[in-house]
Amino acid sequence: MNDTYYEFGTAADRWDRAQMFFEAKEYLTAARILGGLVEEAPEQVAPRLLLARSYYHSARLGRAEEKLRAVLERDPVESYARLMLGRTLERQGRRAEAATQLRMAAAFDGDFGPRES
């Protein structure tokens, strides 16, 4: 029996539970719950983004990158996903790719850097 109590209940119950585990820094448990939610509702961005964050914080950077790219396929101007992708790529030592994502995230947020007077 691989299922545990936190994988049962409505989607809303599991979403709440996943957020609770994430906030408690139990990232792998949060990821386990969120994986099921993402499978059930692949069109939802929030669970996929929190899943990516869970992977990022648990140093599963390849999985984080995969989920962030999936978010960006659905919503190319999701600035937080761009920021997280940039940070994920940085942690993987892929600085040039990271810089591109970080610039795009800043632009989508309206942060165009220091202005010259």
The tens place of each residue's pLDDT in the chain, 117 residues long, gives: 355 666 788 999 999 999 999 999 999 999 999 999 999 998 899 999 999 999 999 999 999 999 999 999 999 999 999 999 999 999 999 999 999 999 999 998 777 555 443
Of 77, 82, 78, residue with least CA distance to 65: 82
47, with CB counted inside 10 A (0-12, 13-18, 19+), is buried
Q: Are 36 and 29 in contact (CB under 8 A)?
A: no
Give the pTM. 0.85
Residues 15 and 73: their CA atoms lie apart, in Å, by 22
Of 2, 55, 14, 8, residue with least CA distance to 31: 55
Instruction: Enter the tokens of residue 70.
Output: 């999936």
Q: In this predicted structure, what is the pLDDT of residue 8? A: 80
Q: In this predicted structure, what is the pLDDT of residue 4? A: 65
